[in-house]
Structure 1
Amino acid sequence: MREELNQGLIDFLKASPTPFHATRSLAKRLEAAGYVRLDEREAWRVESGGRYYVTRNDSSIIAIKLGKRPVLEGGLRLVGAHTDSPCLRVKPNPELHKQGFWQLGVEVYGGALLAPWFDRDLSLAGRVTYRAAGMVESQLVDFQAPIAVIPNLAIHLNREANQGWAINAQTELPPILAQLAAGEAREFRDLLAEQLTLEHGVVADAVLDYELSFYDTQGAAIIGLSGDFIAGARLDNLLSCYAGLQALLAADADESCVLVCTDHEEVGSCSACGADGPMLEQVLRRVLPEGDAFARVIQRSLLVSADNAHGVHPNYADKHDGNHGPKLNAGPVIKVNSNQRYATNSETAGFFRHLCLENEVPVQSFVTRSDMGCGSTIGPITASQLGVRTVDIGLPTFAMHSIRELAGSQDLAHLVKVLAAFYSSHDLP
């Protein structure tokens, strides 16, 4: 079971280099399990026992399983995660021709660790909008091959590199795509038109715009002398998306369940398809009873917000509170912050801890050091938007926001087990 889940995650990460691809991957798996796509522009007909999903912007997805038990009686069991990860996004007019090299200007998306992006084999993926036969269309593209690199400067020319180096995102991050002949220049949109033809057989009159990200072509892998770890890009937070999907597919048919995976968490979630936008409430209002009954359902519901937690690093253990250092392969972490950077309270934490104990899943707690700032996630945002009780949890991770992160190879199975138990639980607090 553990090995199968880990390999499934590795395959999912490979198929999901961007939020667009992650959403498409989730949708394909839901459709294979009998979920029906709902179009937000059309009228909906939903029924008890039905399975549905909705996407917005091609980068956020909500899956809903309506149970046999009346939703006014049992409420909703929601699991939330996010589809985006810090990365380098290509600028609208990116062409740079310097010293005979073709480079692309990039913008840093989210709070990325920049140093690990150097000397990696990079590819490019995302969404391209184009005109063909007078129509405006969009397609997802993925070059897959390593087409770019950001070479480091030799230490001989940067003697202070190991004493601390402030990376200039404007001047030091443009990846190199090719070496050009004297006087030669390349247009990025021409390259995208070629890729559309190669990947989709599309002959575009013009490439109008795009949202494209560089990514590391090295695939995720189980590593360590005893296979203790899983290393890969975008574990934050595609690991939680995948765990939520597996749990949803394993849930029984009695209770009503929701999986919500939204874009733009790494930049604040404030968008039409982000957790700080209207998407979740708008979708739920279309499938749940109206008016007073809707509020009653929400107050009978509970959200498990699943986003990676900071594992205690052996080289930097002093960065953690001494009593709250989550360990890899020791189970999911309940995240607590008295200043509401996490939405966990004693009731929701207690219920999640109860689920873990009942299902023999190890569980841990995380509180940041009192002299350090605390990050946040979709939990407080969704709680404030929807008014739903929430517990923030996640699997411990090293190198969060790096181009290659590290988690425990046993923890995915722990998380899927407790989330499946949550989806199937008959009594919420």
Structure 2
Amino acid sequence: MFLRKMQLPIYLLLLVAWIPKAIFCQSDTTEQSPQANPGLAYDKIRSANSEFTGRLLKLLVSENPHKNVFFSPVSIATAFAMLSLGAKTATLTNLLEGLGFNLTELQEREIHEGFQDLVHLLNNTEGKVQLESGNGLFINDQLEPLQKFLDDVKNLYGAEVFAANFKDSEGAKKQINDYVNEKTHGKIPELIKDLDPRTLMVLINHIFFKGNWETSFNSTLTELQDFYVDKNTTVQVPMMMKSEKLYYHRDDELFSSMVVLPYEGNACLILALPDEGKLEQALDAIITKKGISHSRFLEKRKVDIYLPRISISTSYELEDLLPKIGITDVFTGNADLTGISTQFKLQISKVLHKAALEVSENGTVAAAVTDIEIQRNIAAPPVIVNFNRPFFMSLMDTNIHQDLFVGKIVDPTAKH
């Protein structure tokens, strides 16, 4: 029997510390499934995650037309998939379908097995890439969660569970912020500024990425240049530059020129520069095509690339936005979260997602830095790609062919 209605906030956090470098993470240009083990279970949910990424990117861009957009779709999807372990009846169906899953084709068990696989794949130290992800639950000492819920979040999502006293708002806030500060290596020292003493649970998902470019940008070539935010606004940015053989693709269907910059390890940064005046058309086309496939990049070209140095952070309160893409029930009084506890009537009151991004010249110099090539004089001249106007980016894990972070950079000088 329900005793009273309480609020259950979810806090989602993400951090990426980005140390730039260049290009394609995989020489094989065909689409490949993740390795049979691990990765096979995750492959079943990859398509839905990509579809969710597109819908959320379009929503955040439309809600922030003149601002930078940067977030981790994988972080948000994982947090809500974990929450669904405690959802029942129509709330469970709405939550999973809102994440893009077709429940006539995929069983709930397969979805959670896919995310269990993903949690494993997102903790990767192969090569020089540092990729860390995890989940934490802070549970009020008044709440008695069902043992099955606790077992599932631990076994399937590797969640750490902590007792918290939310009546002591300052103490609970410090406990959570200290956890966040540690998991983000000091990049997000204060996630929570205010905490409702009626809170019964805080669920946190975190993801951290740090990678070195395969070939660093030479800092001596960086110089201040104009960045055209819009027709009426120009800002000065430190523009990095290098000339290198990179995977390049001109895609008229996407109204964009695209370049792939690889990190040392299993990750790469895909940059899409829309044609002037075609920003919205490019976004719609990219979403319609369900992202930018590796299969579009068939060959390397000599590219002179100009990329601004970036240091930005973003913060989104998603409880009012996610209903616009179909996730509704958990935010209403009709929410059925009795899989968490039958002690109180629960609903989600807050979803906070924070992100930080740094892009610079720094990186480990690889042997490929000295590249002596002999070619005929009739070789094609370099392609010049100058990211001096708004552009899209995707940081992709090439083991699982999934966007870890996506965004639209409108003004590299805007810190927040």
Range of TM-score over shorter length? under 0.3
Q: Which has the higher contact order (CA 8 A, sep 6+)?
A: 2
- TM-score by length of structure 1 reads 0.19
- TM-score by length of structure 2 reads 0.20
